[in-house]
Amino acid sequence: MNQMNKSKRCTTYANAVKNLRVKMDNDVDSTLQKAKHINESRLSMASLRKQLQSSIKSFKEFRQKMASELRVTVEQRSEKRQGFGHLRALKTVANDSKFQAKDDFQASR
Predicted local confidence at residue 78, as pLDDT: 81
Q: How many domains does the chain have?
A: 1
Predicted local confidence at residue 17, as pLDDT: 77
Domain residues for 14?
2-108
Predicted local confidence at residue 11, as pLDDT: 58
Structure-model confidence comparison of residues 35 and 9, the more confident one: 35
pTM score above 0.75: no
Q: Using CA atoms, how far apart are residues 105 and 101, in angstroms rounded to an integer?
A: 6
Per-residue pLDDT reduced to its tens digit, 59-107: 999 999 999 999 998 888 887 777 655 555 555 555 555 545 555 555 5
